[in-house]
């Protein structure tokens, strides 16, 4: 006998399932992958009628290109690491810093911002953070400022390109903008948000940055993996070209990943199994399942309620309100569900409102651990290096950076929209 929920039962049931999925994603009991709970939860929403089969299929079709794009970028980033690109960046940072903490922090801000923008925030969290730890030890400086910079910039610096973050891919698809116009409009908010983060970091970590060298710095020659670097640059060019001619930019990401995969396999630097694992298939299944569960919540009343809170128009005050709502929602239910909920409600208002949502869900998560999956993953990596993160310190830093950077970034977005257009 099929159980079909309707009315408040469907709304309550879908909310409970969403909270369960998010809780398991945050805690990961017994080391379970996020998909282990999310996929059954999505099936339950369909079986019970909390989401109709046509709507579930529609959500799957909407997310499929985004998930494919994400898989290609994750593989590309891992293959770049196999080529030694991140280690070369770390050695260059150590040489340039010369044991001076402020110079190292500046270098990490530049490097993390670029890696996040081009290779996605996952590359910054998973691949760059361990390198920064090693670089701080090599340079003889305290690791806390540059390591904290990795997590903040994985969120804040992911504003620039559609490929920088899964939330960006979703917003890019909803905005109707081309790749180049998206980047042009977001360039100023990206720079403003990073600048605010940098100034706050210099003041907040003044004691660590004044500590100086712990050991003498020894310079090391840096061998740049030219092939990997050229492939990344050509892939980025491919994003622009494919978008301009109406082809899904995911094909450019797949091409770049394929080139490095063939080279890595030929030189025995990787294996087919490693490449498949780097695509993070369980996480991709989690994203799809989460999208279905969130769609069920929206269809059963949350969308109508939030729709009453979203202001009409794209003036400065309206954009500030949308970004603030997105930031709050990201810290309550995580930024990925937040963007899935808010995009359908703002797309009718035009690209400006969609990009304001993106500012909120990308900058806002720096306030709490649970704001984004990237921050949760960063916390686990930090613990693996025997360095515990202090909740109070993390929150104080977030309180100093998030409100100011969000407000100024929204003002910058408003200015960009007036100058460039949406």
User: For the chain, what are the domain ranges?
Assistant: 1-50+281-299
pLDDT of residue 299: 80
Burial class (CB in 10 A: 0-12, 13-18, 19+), 1: exposed
Give residue for tokens 């159980």.
3
The pTM assigned to this predicted structure is 0.82
Instruction: List Cβ neighbours of 156 (8 Å cut-off, separation of 6 or more).
Output: 193, 194, 197, 362, 363, 366, 401, 405
What Å distances lie between residue 372 and 17, 101, 183, 334, CA to CA?
A: 19, 28, 22, 5
Classify residue 242 as left (phi > 0), alpha (psi -120 to 50) or beta.
alpha
Question: Are 40 and 30 spatial neighbours (Cβ–Cβ below 8 Å)?
Answer: no
Instruction: List Cβ neighbours of 186 (8 Å cut-off, separation of 6 or more).
Output: 159, 160, 161, 355, 358, 413, 416
Q: Kindly give the confidence (pLDDT) of every residue in the chain, 422 residues in length, as a single tens digit, with 9 standing for 90 and above.
A: 345 555 567 777 888 888 888 788 777 777 778 888 999 999 999 988 888 899 999 989 888 887 888 788 888 888 988 888 888 888 888 787 777 889 899 999 999 999 999 888 888 887 888 888 888 877 778 888 999 999 999 999 999 999 888 899 889 988 989 889 999 999 999 999 999 999 999 999 999 888 765 554 555 556 778 898 899 889 888 888 887 787 877 888 899 999 999 999 999 888 999 999 888 888 889 889 988 988 888 888 776 777 777 887 779 999 999 999 999 999 887 888 888 889 888 988 889 999 999 999 999 999 987 788 788 778 777 776 666 677 788 899 999 999 999 999 999 999 999 998 76
Q: What is the CA angle 283-399-163, rounded to 5?
A: 35
Give residue for tokens 């970028």.
73
What Å distances lie between residue 393 and 35, 177, 274, 327, 367, CA to CA?
A: 31, 38, 37, 20, 11
Instruction: Give me the phi and psi of 217, to 5 degrees please.
Output: -90, 135
Question: Are 216 and 99 spatial neighbours (Cβ–Cβ below 8 Å)?
Answer: yes
Burial per residue of 95-134, b for 16 or more beta-carbon CB atoms within 10 angstroms, e otherwise: bbbebbbbbbbbbbbbbbbebbbbbbbbbbbbbbbbbbbb
Q: Which of 203, 204, 303, 236 is nearest to 80 (CA)?
A: 236
What Å distances lie between residue 378 and 121, 125, 374, CA to CA?
A: 11, 6, 6
Instruction: List Cβ neighbours of 251 (8 Å cut-off, separation of 6 or more).
Output: 238, 242
pLDDT of residue 379: 78
Burial class (CB in 10 A: 0-12, 13-18, 19+), 163: buried
Show the tokens assigned to 246.
């109406």
């Amino acid at each position: 006998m099929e159980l079909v929920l309707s009315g408040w039962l469907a709304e309550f049931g879908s909310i409970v399932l969403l909270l369960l999925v998010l809780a398991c994603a945050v805690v990961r009991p017994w080391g379970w992958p996020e998909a282990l709970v999310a996929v059954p939860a999505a099936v339950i929403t369909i079986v019970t009628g909390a989401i109709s089969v046509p709507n579930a299929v529609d959500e799957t079709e909407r997310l499929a290109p985004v998930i494919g794009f994400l898989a290609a970028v994750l593989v590309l980033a891992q293959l770049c690491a196999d080529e030694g690109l991140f280690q070369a960046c770390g050695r260059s940072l150590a040489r340039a810093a010369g044991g001076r903490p402020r110079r190292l922090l500046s270098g990490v801000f530049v490097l993390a911002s670029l890696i996040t923008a081009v290779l996605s925030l996952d590359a910054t969290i998973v691949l760059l953070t361990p390198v920064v730890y090693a670089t701080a030890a090599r340079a003889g400086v305290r690791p806390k400022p540059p390591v904290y910079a990795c997590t903040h910039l994985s969120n804040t610096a992911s504003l620039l390109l559609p490929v920088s973050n899964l939330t960006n891919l979703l917003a890019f698809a909803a905005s109707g903008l081309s790749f180049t116009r998206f980047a042009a409009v977001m360039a100023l908010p990206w720079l403003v948000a990073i600048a605010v983060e940098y100034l706050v970091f210099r003041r907040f970590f003044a004691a660590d940055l004044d500590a100086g060298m712990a050991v003498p710095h020894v310079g090391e020659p840096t061998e740049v993996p030219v092939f990997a670097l050229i492939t990344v640059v050509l892939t980025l060019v491919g994003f622009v070209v494919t978008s301009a001619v109406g082809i899904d930019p995911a094909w450019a990401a797949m091409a770049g990943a394929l080139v490095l995969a063939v080279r890595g396999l030929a030189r025995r630097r990787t294996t087919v199994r490693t490449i498949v694992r780097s695509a993070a298939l369980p996480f991709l299944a989690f994203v799809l399942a989460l999208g279905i569960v969130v769609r069920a919540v929206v269809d059963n009343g949350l969308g109508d309620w939030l729709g009453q809170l979203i202001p009409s128009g794209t003036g400065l005050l309206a954009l500030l309100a949308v970004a603030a709502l997105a930031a709050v929602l990201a810290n309550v239910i995580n930024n990925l569900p937040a963007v899935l909920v808010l995009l359908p409600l703002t797309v009718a208002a035009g690209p400006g409102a969609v990009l304001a949502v993106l500012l909120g869900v990308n900058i806002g998560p720096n306030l709490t651990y649970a704001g984004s999956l990237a921050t949760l993953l960063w916390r686990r990596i930090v613990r693996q290096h025997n360095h515990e993160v202090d909740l109070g310190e993390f929150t104080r830093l977030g309180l100093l950076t998030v409100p100011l950077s969000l407000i100024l970034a929204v003002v910058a977005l408003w200015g960009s929209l007036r100058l460039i257009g949406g």
